[in-house]
Every structure is written in C-alpha cells, then in structure tokens.
Amino acid sequence: MRRTTIFLLLLFSYSVAATSATKSLFEKGVDAYRHGKVDEALGTWQSVYERGYESGALCYNLGNAHFRTGHTAQAILFYERAKNLLPRDKDVTANLGLARLSVVDRVEAPVRLIIWNWVDVARDFFSLRELRLLFIWFGVLSCACIIAVILLGGRVSRAVPTVVVVVWLVFGMVFVWRSILDSQSYAIITVDKVDVKSAPDEAAKDVFALHEGLKIRIKSGLAGWLNIELADGRRGWIPAAQAEQI
C-alpha cells in the first residue's frame, strides 16, 4: 500500500512538473512573438505541440505564427484546429477567414435553405468537449431531480425536473450528432499543387487539380493514398503525403 502511494505521488509530481514546463515554454513563445521573433516563437510553440499539449490558444498562436511566416497551409490547419476547440472565438474565426483568402481554389457547396445554416450555427456553438460536459452535468442534475420527486412526492413541482430532463436529452442528441460529424476526417492540402487522380495510382487519369490551403474531406485511405471529397461533391485520390489531417 505504501509503495503504491509513493508511486502515485511521484506520478502526480512528474505530471505537475511536466505541465509547468510546458506552460513555461508556451509563455516563452508568447514573449518571443511579442518582441517580433516570430520564427523563434513558432519553433517553441511547435515543440510544445509535439509534446502532446493541445489547446485552443496554442493552436491559434501557431496559426498566427505560420501566417506571419507565409506558411498558408499550416496557418489554416492550426486555425481549423483552434476553431474545433474554441468555436465561439471571434479572433480565430476572423483569422481563419483571412487565411482562406489566400487559397486559390474556390469550391462552392450546394445551395440550401438558410434555416439549415442556423441549425449548423446552433449545433456548433459548443465544442465537442463542452457538449460532453454539459451532457454529463445535466444527466446528474436530471437524476437528482427525479430522486427529489420520488422522495418528496407532491411537495416538489414536476415542471423543473421535466425541463431539466428535456434539456439533457437535447444536449445528448446534439452531442451524438456532433460526435458523428467530428468522427469524419478532414485535411488541408499542404503542397502548392496536387493532381487529383481517378484511382490510387500515379498512372491514373488526372480529374482535377487542387492547391495549397484547401480543406478536403477524407473518405478513406489505401496504401499511401487518400480518397477525398470536396464540398461540391467532386471526388478523387491524392497521395497521403500531400495533405495533413486536421
């Protein structure tokens, strides 16, 4: 028992020390960026990211640093990652839109009723992590309300428990919906130009070309190739090395 306790304390101490060192590196990058040392800041933040530390602020700063150094594809990639973690951050949305202006390709999604755009905004208002927490907390609250009704009977109004359960169910449905959508893989083209093939073979016919910074959906993969789909429905194959997954 004593050895287990000591092991857990050592593990906790190591975790705290690692987190402290990571935060220190992050702040070092912030200080370098503020003093105009963009390349130094970029290298520092990249090392933090490669350690497995991921946050909306880190991804946003990496996007800014890449954009300042002319790395359009990497800037868009990290802005997209930041947007997944900070869906309501106006600076992330604005900078992502600005970076996208540098993309050569203009892919238009099919026209649809404006109400579906409103539905998308409502669905994406919270990040998946936030939806998970809301679902859990409202689930706990729903159980507490139901127990209170059972124990106290008519002395407790059933209106509040009903509302709480309904909200819990709504968050549950949105969480499942978002989980399904977020399980779909998207990537950013990272090379100047890539010829999209009709099959996963260099000798296959070129069907169209894509350029740096464009966001694509990954349908599947096969032996170093990605089967991709664009927002307008066009499909094809590209080498996996020419895109990086968001």
pLDDT tens-digit map of 97-117: 999 999 999 888 877 788 888
Residue 6 reports pLDDT greater than 70: no
Q: What is the pLDDT of residue 97?
A: 94
What's the DSSP call for residue 87?
A: T
What's the DSSP call for residue 70?
A: T
Q: Starting at the edge strand that comes first in sequence, how are the strands of the sheet with 185-189 ordered? A: 206-211, 193-197, 235-239, 225-229, 215-222, 185-189, 243-245
What's the DSSP call for residue 109?
A: P
d(CA 102, CA 214): 10
Q: Which fold has domain 2-100?
A: 1.25.40
d(CA 236, CA 76): 22
The amino acid occupying position 234 is R
d(CA 220, CA 111): 26
Question: Residue 161: which pLDDT band, with cuts at 50, 70 and 90?
Answer: confident
d(CA 217, CA 215): 7
Question: Residue 19: which pLDDT band, with cuts at 50, 70 and 90?
Answer: low
Given a contact cutoff of 8 angstroms between Cβ atoms, the answer to whether 188 and 76 are in contact is yes
Domain 185-245, CATH? 2.30.30.40
Lowest mean pLDDT among 75-79, 89-93, 180-184: 180-184
The amino acid occupying position 243 is A
What are the structure tokens assigned to 94, written together? 């604005």
Tell whether the torsion through CA atoms of 110, 115, 120 and 121 is positive or negative: positive
C-beta neighbour count of 70 within 10 angstroms: 9
Closest by alpha carbon to 76, among 15, 84, 49?
84
